[in-house]
Structure 1
Amino acid sequence: MTDLTPLLPAAEALIQRLAKAGLTVATAESCTGGLIAGTLTEVSGSSAVVDRGYVTYSNEAKTDMLGVPAELIAHVGAVSREVALAMVEGALARSGADLAVAVTGIAGPNGGSPEKPVGLVHFGIARRGHPARHDVQIFAGLDRSGVRLATVAHALKLLGEAAEG
Protein backbone atom coordinates (compact mmCIF):
# COMPACT_ATOMS: atom_id res chain seq x y z
CA MET A 1 0.00 0.00 0.00
CA THR A 2 1.26 3.45 -0.88
CA ASP A 3 1.82 5.71 2.13
CA LEU A 4 0.36 9.16 1.42
CA THR A 5 1.60 10.68 4.69
CA PRO A 6 4.57 12.55 3.16
CA LEU A 7 2.22 14.28 0.70
CA LEU A 8 -0.34 15.48 3.23
CA PRO A 9 1.30 18.84 4.08
CA ALA A 10 1.30 19.82 0.39
CA ALA A 11 -2.29 18.60 0.02
CA GLU A 12 -3.38 20.58 3.11
CA ALA A 13 -1.72 23.74 1.80
CA LEU A 14 -3.36 23.27 -1.61
CA ILE A 15 -6.81 22.66 -0.11
CA GLN A 16 -6.47 25.84 1.96
CA ARG A 17 -5.31 27.84 -1.07
CA LEU A 18 -8.16 26.56 -3.23
CA ALA A 19 -10.77 27.14 -0.52
CA LYS A 20 -9.55 30.70 0.03
CA ALA A 21 -9.71 31.38 -3.72
CA GLY A 22 -13.11 29.70 -4.07
CA LEU A 23 -11.76 27.20 -6.63
CA THR A 24 -12.70 23.58 -7.17
CA VAL A 25 -10.70 20.76 -8.72
CA ALA A 26 -11.21 17.57 -10.70
CA THR A 27 -8.63 14.86 -11.34
CA ALA A 28 -8.24 12.50 -14.30
CA GLU A 29 -5.86 9.72 -13.37
CA SER A 30 -4.37 6.75 -15.13
CA CYS A 31 -1.03 5.64 -13.64
CA THR A 32 -1.92 6.95 -10.18
CA GLY A 33 -5.23 5.11 -10.03
CA GLY A 34 -6.95 7.78 -7.94
CA LEU A 35 -4.08 8.64 -5.58
CA ILE A 36 -4.24 12.36 -6.40
CA ALA A 37 -7.92 12.55 -5.46
CA GLY A 38 -7.24 10.22 -2.54
CA THR A 39 -4.48 12.47 -1.24
CA LEU A 40 -6.64 15.56 -1.53
CA THR A 41 -9.58 13.91 0.22
CA GLU A 42 -7.38 12.83 3.12
CA VAL A 43 -7.54 16.49 4.16
CA SER A 44 -10.40 17.67 6.34
CA GLY A 45 -12.39 20.30 4.48
CA SER A 46 -11.50 18.92 1.07
CA SER A 47 -15.18 18.51 0.20
CA ALA A 48 -15.31 22.28 -0.30
CA VAL A 49 -12.85 22.09 -3.18
CA VAL A 50 -12.72 18.55 -4.63
CA ASP A 51 -15.43 18.21 -7.26
CA ARG A 52 -14.63 14.74 -8.57
CA GLY A 53 -11.97 12.29 -9.65
CA TYR A 54 -11.90 10.12 -12.74
CA VAL A 55 -9.85 6.92 -12.58
CA THR A 56 -9.32 6.12 -16.25
CA TYR A 57 -6.81 3.32 -16.10
CA SER A 58 -7.88 1.66 -19.34
CA ASN A 59 -7.94 3.24 -22.77
CA GLU A 60 -11.67 2.51 -22.96
CA ALA A 61 -12.23 4.46 -19.72
CA LYS A 62 -10.30 7.43 -21.11
CA THR A 63 -12.64 7.41 -24.10
CA ASP A 64 -15.89 6.67 -22.26
CA MET A 65 -15.41 8.92 -19.24
CA LEU A 66 -13.33 11.79 -20.62
CA GLY A 67 -14.07 11.76 -24.34
CA VAL A 68 -10.48 11.06 -25.39
CA PRO A 69 -10.78 9.91 -29.01
CA ALA A 70 -9.90 6.22 -29.40
CA GLU A 71 -8.19 7.12 -32.67
CA LEU A 72 -5.88 9.51 -30.80
CA ILE A 73 -4.88 6.81 -28.33
CA ALA A 74 -4.29 4.35 -31.17
CA HIS A 75 -2.16 6.88 -33.06
CA VAL A 76 0.07 8.33 -30.28
CA GLY A 77 -0.42 5.91 -27.39
CA ALA A 78 -2.06 6.47 -24.02
CA VAL A 79 1.18 7.76 -22.49
CA SER A 80 1.58 10.94 -24.52
CA ARG A 81 1.31 14.70 -24.45
CA GLU A 82 -1.78 14.62 -26.64
CA VAL A 83 -3.67 12.15 -24.46
CA ALA A 84 -2.77 13.98 -21.24
CA LEU A 85 -4.15 17.21 -22.73
CA ALA A 86 -7.29 15.47 -24.00
CA MET A 87 -7.80 13.91 -20.56
CA VAL A 88 -7.53 17.22 -18.70
CA GLU A 89 -9.78 18.99 -21.20
CA GLY A 90 -12.33 16.19 -20.86
CA ALA A 91 -12.21 16.34 -17.07
CA LEU A 92 -12.79 20.08 -17.08
CA ALA A 93 -15.57 19.86 -19.68
CA ARG A 94 -17.41 17.06 -17.84
CA SER A 95 -17.17 18.55 -14.36
CA GLY A 96 -18.11 21.73 -12.60
CA ALA A 97 -14.53 22.23 -11.48
CA ASP A 98 -12.44 25.34 -12.02
CA LEU A 99 -9.16 23.41 -12.25
CA ALA A 100 -8.25 19.96 -13.48
CA VAL A 101 -5.14 17.82 -13.57
CA ALA A 102 -4.59 14.68 -15.64
CA VAL A 103 -1.81 12.11 -15.48
CA THR A 104 -0.87 9.25 -17.77
CA GLY A 105 2.38 7.37 -17.45
CA ILE A 106 4.35 4.20 -16.92
CA ALA A 107 4.73 3.38 -13.23
CA GLY A 108 6.56 0.10 -13.86
CA PRO A 109 8.30 -2.04 -13.15
CA ASN A 110 7.17 -3.40 -16.53
CA GLY A 111 5.74 -1.72 -19.59
CA GLY A 112 8.58 0.64 -20.45
CA SER A 113 10.41 0.96 -23.76
CA PRO A 114 13.36 3.03 -25.00
CA GLU A 115 10.91 5.65 -26.30
CA LYS A 116 8.67 5.53 -23.22
CA PRO A 117 10.72 4.42 -20.21
CA VAL A 118 9.40 3.38 -16.82
CA GLY A 119 8.89 6.57 -14.84
CA LEU A 120 7.67 8.64 -17.81
CA VAL A 121 4.58 10.65 -16.86
CA HIS A 122 2.68 13.18 -18.94
CA PHE A 123 0.62 15.78 -17.09
CA GLY A 124 -2.22 17.95 -18.29
CA ILE A 125 -3.23 20.96 -16.23
CA ALA A 126 -6.13 23.26 -16.99
CA ARG A 127 -8.01 26.17 -15.52
CA ARG A 128 -11.42 27.09 -16.85
CA GLY A 129 -11.13 29.91 -19.34
CA HIS A 130 -7.42 29.31 -20.00
CA PRO A 131 -5.63 26.98 -22.41
CA ALA A 132 -4.58 23.61 -21.06
CA ARG A 133 -0.86 23.11 -20.41
CA HIS A 134 1.33 20.06 -20.66
CA ASP A 135 4.22 18.97 -18.49
CA VAL A 136 6.33 15.84 -18.69
CA GLN A 137 8.55 14.23 -16.09
CA ILE A 138 10.71 11.13 -15.99
CA PHE A 139 10.89 9.78 -12.46
CA ALA A 140 13.84 7.48 -13.18
CA GLY A 141 15.25 5.01 -10.71
CA LEU A 142 12.09 4.77 -8.61
CA ASP A 143 10.00 1.70 -7.93
CA ARG A 144 6.29 1.62 -8.81
CA SER A 145 5.21 3.22 -5.55
CA GLY A 146 7.90 5.89 -5.88
CA VAL A 147 6.79 6.83 -9.40
CA ARG A 148 3.20 7.10 -8.27
CA LEU A 149 4.06 9.22 -5.20
CA ALA A 150 6.32 11.50 -7.25
CA THR A 151 3.50 11.88 -9.77
CA VAL A 152 1.03 12.88 -7.05
CA ALA A 153 3.51 15.38 -5.58
CA HIS A 154 4.10 16.97 -8.98
CA ALA A 155 0.36 17.08 -9.72
CA LEU A 156 -0.24 18.92 -6.42
CA LYS A 157 2.48 21.40 -7.38
CA LEU A 158 0.93 21.97 -10.80
CA LEU A 159 -2.51 22.50 -9.26
CA GLY A 160 -1.01 25.07 -6.89
CA GLU A 161 0.52 26.93 -9.82
CA ALA A 162 -2.76 26.83 -11.74
CA ALA A 163 -4.60 28.18 -8.71
CA GLU A 164 -2.40 31.26 -8.85
CA GLY A 165 -3.57 31.93 -12.39
Structure 2
Amino acid sequence: MTRLKSIAALGGAAILAGLGTVAPGVPAMAQASSSNDYRNTISNNMRSCAPGGGPAVRVTINGIKEASGKVRAQVYNATSGEWLESGKWLNRVELPARRGRMTICLPVPKSGNYAVAVRHDVNGNGETDIRTDGGAMSNDPSINIFNLGKPGVDKTRFNVGNGVTAISITMKYFA
Protein backbone atom coordinates (compact mmCIF):
# COMPACT_ATOMS: atom_id res chain seq x y z
CA MET A 1 0.00 0.00 0.00
CA THR A 2 1.41 3.37 -0.92
CA ARG A 3 1.84 6.13 1.63
CA LEU A 4 -1.05 8.07 0.05
CA LYS A 5 -3.41 5.09 0.32
CA SER A 6 -2.35 4.59 3.94
CA ILE A 7 -3.16 8.21 4.76
CA ALA A 8 -6.52 7.96 2.97
CA ALA A 9 -7.35 4.78 4.89
CA LEU A 10 -6.54 6.47 8.20
CA GLY A 11 -8.73 9.46 7.45
CA GLY A 12 -11.41 7.23 5.96
CA ALA A 13 -11.60 5.07 9.05
CA ALA A 14 -12.30 8.10 11.17
CA ILE A 15 -14.97 9.47 8.84
CA LEU A 16 -16.78 6.14 8.75
CA ALA A 17 -16.48 5.80 12.52
CA GLY A 18 -17.99 9.27 12.85
CA LEU A 19 -21.00 8.20 10.78
CA GLY A 20 -21.76 5.68 13.51
CA THR A 21 -23.04 2.15 13.52
CA VAL A 22 -25.89 0.63 15.39
CA ALA A 23 -24.87 -2.09 17.80
CA PRO A 24 -26.07 -5.53 16.68
CA GLY A 25 -29.53 -6.25 18.07
CA VAL A 26 -30.17 -2.64 19.13
CA PRO A 27 -32.90 -0.94 17.11
CA ALA A 28 -31.91 2.41 15.60
CA MET A 29 -34.62 4.15 17.60
CA ALA A 30 -33.02 2.94 20.84
CA GLN A 31 -30.20 5.39 20.21
CA ALA A 32 -32.57 8.35 20.14
CA SER A 33 -32.66 10.71 23.06
CA SER A 34 -36.05 11.17 24.69
CA SER A 35 -35.45 14.96 24.66
CA ASN A 36 -35.82 15.06 20.86
CA ASP A 37 -38.85 13.24 19.54
CA TYR A 38 -38.13 14.29 15.93
CA ARG A 39 -35.36 11.66 15.63
CA ASN A 40 -36.58 8.93 13.28
CA THR A 41 -35.53 6.26 10.86
CA ILE A 42 -37.89 7.05 8.00
CA SER A 43 -38.73 5.80 4.53
CA ASN A 44 -37.48 7.69 1.51
CA ASN A 45 -40.69 9.62 0.85
CA MET A 46 -39.84 11.86 -2.12
CA ARG A 47 -43.24 13.60 -1.81
CA SER A 48 -41.73 15.55 1.11
CA CYS A 49 -39.25 16.98 -1.41
CA ALA A 50 -41.79 17.74 -4.14
CA PRO A 51 -42.59 21.36 -5.05
CA GLY A 52 -44.50 22.91 -2.18
CA GLY A 53 -42.99 20.45 0.31
CA GLY A 54 -40.59 21.15 3.10
CA PRO A 55 -38.79 22.06 5.03
CA ALA A 56 -36.62 19.24 3.71
CA VAL A 57 -33.31 18.42 2.05
CA ARG A 58 -33.21 16.58 -1.29
CA VAL A 59 -29.81 14.87 -1.36
CA THR A 60 -28.32 13.57 -4.60
CA ILE A 61 -25.60 11.06 -3.74
CA ASN A 62 -23.10 10.58 -6.58
CA GLY A 63 -20.36 8.01 -7.05
CA ILE A 64 -21.87 4.99 -5.30
CA LYS A 65 -19.39 2.30 -6.24
CA GLU A 66 -21.49 -0.88 -5.96
CA ALA A 67 -25.11 -2.03 -5.96
CA SER A 68 -24.66 -4.03 -2.78
CA GLY A 69 -25.27 -3.36 0.88
CA LYS A 70 -27.05 -0.30 2.24
CA VAL A 71 -26.77 3.45 1.94
CA ARG A 72 -27.60 5.41 5.12
CA ALA A 73 -28.14 9.17 5.12
CA GLN A 74 -28.54 11.17 8.32
CA VAL A 75 -29.35 14.84 8.85
CA TYR A 76 -28.06 16.68 11.93
CA ASN A 77 -28.54 20.09 13.45
CA ALA A 78 -25.43 22.01 12.34
CA THR A 79 -23.93 22.54 15.78
CA SER A 80 -20.59 21.30 17.06
CA GLY A 81 -22.39 19.53 19.92
CA GLU A 82 -24.56 17.44 17.57
CA TRP A 83 -22.65 17.00 14.28
CA LEU A 84 -21.69 13.30 13.91
CA GLU A 85 -22.35 12.61 17.58
CA SER A 86 -23.83 9.18 18.24
CA GLY A 87 -27.62 9.30 18.42
CA LYS A 88 -27.81 13.06 17.71
CA TRP A 89 -29.17 12.78 14.15
CA LEU A 90 -32.67 14.07 13.43
CA ASN A 91 -33.77 11.80 10.56
CA ARG A 92 -32.18 8.78 8.93
CA VAL A 93 -32.99 7.03 5.66
CA GLU A 94 -31.55 3.57 4.88
CA LEU A 95 -31.94 2.04 1.43
CA PRO A 96 -30.47 -0.81 -0.59
CA ALA A 97 -27.51 0.65 -2.49
CA ARG A 98 -27.71 1.36 -6.22
CA ARG A 99 -24.54 1.86 -8.22
CA GLY A 100 -23.97 5.39 -9.49
CA ARG A 101 -26.50 7.92 -8.20
CA MET A 102 -29.30 7.88 -5.62
CA THR A 103 -31.61 10.66 -4.46
CA ILE A 104 -33.14 10.76 -1.00
CA CYS A 105 -35.36 13.16 0.93
CA LEU A 106 -34.60 14.15 4.52
CA PRO A 107 -37.33 16.25 6.16
CA VAL A 108 -36.18 18.67 8.89
CA PRO A 109 -38.28 20.09 11.75
CA LYS A 110 -37.95 23.76 10.76
CA SER A 111 -35.86 26.15 8.67
CA GLY A 112 -32.29 26.52 9.93
CA ASN A 113 -28.75 25.19 9.58
CA TYR A 114 -28.18 21.48 9.03
CA ALA A 115 -25.47 19.02 7.93
CA VAL A 116 -25.79 15.62 6.20
CA ALA A 117 -23.66 12.48 6.50
CA VAL A 118 -23.96 9.45 4.20
CA ARG A 119 -22.45 5.99 4.62
CA HIS A 120 -22.34 3.06 2.19
CA ASP A 121 -22.09 -0.22 4.11
CA VAL A 122 -21.03 -2.23 1.07
CA ASN A 123 -21.50 -5.71 2.55
CA GLY A 124 -24.50 -4.73 4.69
CA ASN A 125 -23.02 -6.10 7.91
CA GLY A 126 -23.77 -2.99 9.98
CA GLU A 127 -20.09 -2.48 10.78
CA THR A 128 -17.53 -0.02 9.47
CA ASP A 129 -15.18 -1.83 7.09
CA ILE A 130 -12.55 0.75 6.13
CA ARG A 131 -11.27 -1.26 3.19
CA THR A 132 -14.66 -1.36 1.40
CA ASP A 133 -17.21 1.07 2.86
CA GLY A 134 -17.60 4.67 1.75
CA GLY A 135 -18.81 7.94 3.17
CA ALA A 136 -19.79 11.45 2.18
CA MET A 137 -20.87 14.69 3.82
CA SER A 138 -22.64 17.85 2.80
CA ASN A 139 -20.37 20.33 0.98
CA ASP A 140 -17.93 17.46 0.16
CA PRO A 141 -15.25 18.47 2.69
CA SER A 142 -11.75 17.10 2.27
CA ILE A 143 -10.45 14.49 4.69
CA ASN A 144 -8.12 15.92 7.31
CA ILE A 145 -6.17 13.16 9.04
CA PHE A 146 -4.98 15.52 11.77
CA ASN A 147 -8.50 15.81 13.21
CA LEU A 148 -9.06 12.11 12.47
CA GLY A 149 -11.08 12.75 9.34
CA LYS A 150 -14.06 14.33 11.08
CA PRO A 151 -14.59 17.68 9.35
CA GLY A 152 -15.90 20.41 11.59
CA VAL A 153 -19.51 21.43 11.26
CA ASP A 154 -18.43 24.74 9.66
CA LYS A 155 -17.31 22.74 6.59
CA THR A 156 -20.55 20.79 6.27
CA ARG A 157 -23.22 23.30 7.33
CA PHE A 158 -25.87 24.59 4.91
CA ASN A 159 -29.12 26.50 5.31
CA VAL A 160 -32.59 25.09 4.76
CA GLY A 161 -35.50 27.50 4.31
CA ASN A 162 -39.20 26.69 4.56
CA GLY A 163 -39.17 24.79 1.25
CA VAL A 164 -36.92 22.11 -0.19
CA THR A 165 -33.15 22.63 -0.37
CA ALA A 166 -31.30 20.50 -2.94
CA ILE A 167 -27.71 19.42 -2.30
CA SER A 168 -25.37 17.08 -4.15
CA ILE A 169 -22.58 15.08 -2.50
CA THR A 170 -20.00 12.62 -3.78
CA MET A 171 -19.08 9.35 -2.06
CA LYS A 172 -15.49 8.72 -1.05
CA TYR A 173 -14.08 5.21 -0.80
CA PHE A 174 -10.78 4.18 0.68
CA ALA A 175 -9.84 1.15 -1.36
Same fold (TM over 0.5): no
Larger fraction in helix:
1
With structure 2 as the length reference, what TM-score do the two structures score? 0.27
| TM-score where L is the length of structure 1 | 0.28
Bigger relative contact order (CA 8 A; separation at least 6): 2
**Quick check: which has more Rg, 1 or 2?**
2
